[in-house]
A = this chain, B = another copy of it.
Amino acid sequence: MEAYMSSIGSKLQMLNTSDHASVVSMNLFVALLCGCIVIGHLLEETRWMNESITALTIGVCTGIVILLISGGKSSRLLVFSEDLFFIYLLPPIIFNAGFQVKKKQFFRNFMTIMLFGAVGTLICCAIITTGAVQIFKKMDIGPLDIGDYLAIGAIFAATDSVCTLQVLSQDDTPLLYSLVFGEGVVNDATSVVLFNAIQSFDLTNINAVTAWEFVRNFLYLFITSTLLGVLTGLVSAYIIKKLYFGRHSTDREVALMILMAYLSYILAELFYLSGILTVFFCGIVMSHYTWHNVTESSRITTKHAFATLSFVAEIFIFLYVGMDALDIEKWKFVSDSPGTSIAVSSILLGLVMVGRAAFVFPLSFLSNLSKKSPNEKISFRQQFIIWWAGLMRGAVSMALAYNKFTSAGHTNLRANAIMITSTITVVLFSTMVFGLMTKPLISLLLPHPKDQSRSLSFSSDPTTPKSFTLPLLGEGQDSLDDLGGHEIPRPSSLRALLTTPTHTVHYYWRKFDNAFMRPMFGGRGFVPFVPGSPTERNPPNQWH
């Protein structure tokens, strides 16, 4: 009987997975994910914790247990795969970011966000690279060429602002939230595009011509990826609007939205573009047009399904990073010289802080110059929070570092091992220490934002026009127009047009949107409203 059962077993597992050990790992991993969700929920009220730190801590603890059980051989349940990260985990996170973004705030602050996200990331990368070249050459690390230094710059320019976003309130501090959020997404995309460009660029002879070509290709990637995302989103809106008149089917609509979103990502891969940018803009367009063409059930389902996927993917990444941090293979290279590893990590952390300060404060100054209203300007406290929000390093840095300095999760060169362990140290330290300090720090800088009513909150001023300070629309489901009558005045003079370019663009965009885009692709106001909404937590008008 015993033998027979195990024989059935071996057949079953042959039928189902390659070996039983991987089934055990999957069980453990899924159970840990459940554990992270439950514990994260229980710790939600705590002043210091958030879900990332919880997942990271659980990951490290599990790593220690596995290390002890396996007798110091391994701390991993799964081998890190950039494929897994870039094909399955990152797209839902970025798509959801685009889908839930407050489009009005995002586009109103578009220039500032692009300044911080694109230009700022380039500045940060340049400073980290320069600093690393200067300092590491004097240290006993091993051979690193110019490509490695540039890659280090790109790796450590990729921020992870999740910790800060969990603390900031979209409603109390809309400007700050949209800046931190928008910068985070654009930063992710910029650093990945930059990393790929560096990896493939011939660095042996750099001159003005090749540098110009580099910039041109960078811009080309940026623009075409964006356009592809917008196009895919519009096609999905058109299909659902044209074909589904009268006979809505929630399952088909949801399936089509998910498939089209993923299609946009792999289409970008097909054309050698940046999938991250494409899927982000696809998410924005889908929430502006497609989302308004589907049934109410589909709207609720897609909103929460995308958020859930993104949530699980984020926990998955942090859990994995925590578990992988203790992988013994990388540490044995640095165990003979712990001082070097600590020094490298500290230097990198210092460079990250300097590199970020070097663009946040000057660019904020530049951005403030173009704003008239004091409420649109970024105060020093806000600048400090923006600086702080970008100090954490997370999954993107890890994935890029693995891609550059290991092959299939293994490394044999001492310099590479030091870079990997330093990346792990910086990620763990910044997420844990800076992450834990974020909540107290922000409540210090923004006194009691949650205890006050909205109209009294820090960034709003009762005398300014409502449209700039009040959270005008329901969470994440706003649109580029105002139904509440908060019309932006048409600029009356050339001077006004020059000083408020974003608002002017916004004004003409809205005219164009109402005249051409919405009749074609649907969107709020063009699909009959179905009354009756779930009321829990959210005001009912959120679904209109």
Complex: how many Å from CA A390 to CA B35?
Answer: 42
Copy count, this protein chain? 2
Q: Is the CB of A247 within 8 A of B44?
A: yes
Instruction: Tell me whether A495 is interfacial, beta carbon within 8 Å.
Output: no
Q: Which of A22-30, A332-340, A342-350, A428-436 contacts B (4 or more CB under 8 A)?
A: A22-30
Q: Is the CB of A304 within 8 A of B27?
A: no
Closest to A218 in B: B8
17 contacts between A and B (CB under 8 A): A11-B200, A12-B200, A12-B272, A16-B86, A33-B259, A34-B263, A38-B256, A40-B252, A41-B247, A42-B243, A44-B247, A248-B537, A250-B307, A255-B312, A297-B537, A530-B534, A530-B535
Task: Tell me the minimal C-beta distance from A493 to chain B in angstroms.
Answer: 43
**Contact residues of A between 1 and 36, Cβ < 8 Å to B:** 1, 4-13, 15-18, 20, 23-24, 26-27, 30-31, 33-34
* CB-contact partner of A297 in B31, B86, B300, under 8 A: B300
Contact with B along A281-297 (1 / 0, CB 8 A): 00000000000000111
**Contact residues of A between 41 and 69, Cβ < 8 Å to B:** 41-42, 44
Task: Tell me the minimal C-beta distance from A272 to chain B in angstroms.
Answer: 3
Q: Is the CB of A12 within 8 A of B196?
A: yes
Complex: how many Å from CA A269 to CA B20?
Answer: 9
Q: Which residues of B contact A200 (CB under 8 A)?
A: 4, 7-8, 10-12
Chain A interface residues (CB < 8 Å from chain B)? 1, 4-13, 15-18, 20, 23-24, 26-27, 30-31, 33-34, 37-38, 40-42, 44, 82-83, 86-87, 196-197, 199-201, 213, 217, 221, 239, 243-244, 247-252, 254-256, 258-260, 262-263, 266-267, 269-270, 272, 275, 295-298, 300-301, 304-305, 307-308, 311-312, 403, 530-537, 540
Task: Tell me the minimal C-beta distance from A174 to chain B in angstroms.
Answer: 22
Q: Is the CB of A27 within 8 A of B536?
A: no
Interface of chain A, main secondary structure: helix
Complex: how many Å from CA A537 to CA B40?
Answer: 37
Task: Tell me the minimal C-beta distance from A422 to chain B in angstroms.
Answer: 21
Q: Is the CB of A16 within 8 A of B308?
A: no
Q: Is the CB of A17 within 8 A of B251?
A: no
Q: Is the CB of A6 within 8 A of B272?
A: yes
Q: Is the CB of A16 within 8 A of B269?
A: yes
With contacts A530-B534, A530-B536 taken as known, whether A30 is within 8 angstroms of B297 at the C-beta atoms is no
